[in-house]
Structure 1
């Protein structure tokens, strides 16, 4: 039983984290100007949608190194519902219950949602293997010279 992800998965997680940082900056750069003229939750929602589109393309091309398709694009927002709900609940709890600043709370709420976002986006963006196929070509696991898994 493996406690750590395979080398290919670790690289994928690192790329996902980098994209997450860029995506968070994209979100925050959208949220702050909107927050001046909209209620915090409306500004949050618009910023979230804009950053989600950015996230789709960055994760497709960079994180998972797969082709974007209309099917993936249309499924990506549906699977982001988990992320949206996690971040939304976190935002409301942090701002309304804990009194955190509404300009800082979205950042912490986003951090809390990272594990859910990774699993859901991986499920949507990577092709599923059929039982009769070999290992997923987009996520190679290291092998020995004999071809056995490490």
Structure 2
């Protein structure tokens, strides 16, 4: 195996396991998000319930994404990038939630449909935040 091929293999392997850990993190945080959503849905509307679930899930997600998925430590840069990516993600999710409700999907099913779409997008956004910052540290 040439040095270049070995580097490609190591990057692929590292990305595979990062994606695997992200799946675990995403699943756990999505379950928490959905659980809070369902609880709040008992006494409020879908947008407030979804926002409450999102906020609770966000806290869990930052901790697990930082320590488990990307094996890093909290910093001002990754916290700012995380929040920034989640502002984009939240707006996308609320828009999709309203779209699925408008299409006639139930208020219980709509968040699940939303998460199926946005979880891969969120991974790409967070990968950019965490991996980009790690590459800057290694070069600098």
TM interval, short-chain normalised: 0.7 to 0.9
Query: Hey, which of these two has a bigger chunk of helix by percent?
Result: 2
User: Is 2:65 the partner of 1:59?
Assistant: yes
Q: TM-score, structure 2 length as denominator?
A: 0.83
**Structure 1 residues without counterparts, runs of 5 or longer:** 135-150
Deviation at 1:28, TM superposition (A): 1.0
Higher relative contact order (CA 8 A, sep 6+): 1
Residue 4 of structure 2 aligns with which residue?
Answer: none
Identify which of 85, 91, 111 aligns with 2:91.
85
Match of 1:69 in 2: 75
| 1:31 CA displacement | 0.6
70-79 vs 16-25, which deviates more?
A: 70-79
Unmatched 5+ residue regions in structure 2? 1-7
- Matched pairs, number: 130
Alignment TM-score, normalising by the size of structure 1: 0.78
Q: Deviations over 1:82-126 (max 9, x none)?
A: 211221121111111x11111111011011012210111122233
Match of 2:31, SS state, is: helix
Distance 1:11 1:75 in 2: 22
Q: After TM superposition, which residue ranges in structure 1, 4 or more long, deviate above 6 angstroms? A: none
1-side partners of 2:79 and 2:64: how far apart?
12
